Structure 1
Amino acid sequence: MTVYLPRETVLTLREKAASAGVTLEVYLQNLAQQDADDGPPRSATLDDILAPIREGFAESGLSEDELTNLFEEAREEVWQEQQKQKGSSE
């Protein structure tokens, strides 16, 4: 199913989805289900939220150690960048 919405509407819905801690797709599914059921929306479970991440990891072919190293390297890069920014603002 494809639904076309104005750009402003999409941006607002993305913000609401982010505030709810879910993807836009899950947020819209919840809204549609709520309307169909005439009840409260179903909250996404942690398993729902993590499913795409788990799938991406499985498809990547990385080992757990390789993934850990990748995260550690990214975290170190962010830390280094923050230190540079702190140094230039002083």
Structure 2
Amino acid sequence: WADYIFISAMIVQKESVRRVINKVKKLGKPIVAGGPLFTTGWEEFTNVDHLVLGEVEETFPAIVEDLKNGTLKKMYTNDRFPDIKEV
């Protein structure tokens, strides 16, 4: 089974994601959550182990490195937006 469970959700998925989180917690797996729901309302999800707030593109390399080293932080934040001018 997975070492970590990654969850992303939007606000309209709040109730269903709560059910998923509760099921995962019963399995004893750590949860890494991100996306609009968690970025704007992370305080409501005290049972989530690790949070990725804001756009993940800037923080993803650090998250992967911390996963490799077993040093995943409680929260990763990013206030910047990726440059999409060249897309």
Asked if these proteins are the same fold (TM beyond 0.5), I'd say no
TM-score, normalised by the number of residues in structure 1 = 0.28
- Bigger Rg, which one: 1
- Which structure is richer in relative contact order (CA contacts within 8 A, separation 6 or more)? 2
TM-score, normalised by the number of residues in structure 2 = 0.28
Q: Which has the higher helix share?
A: 1
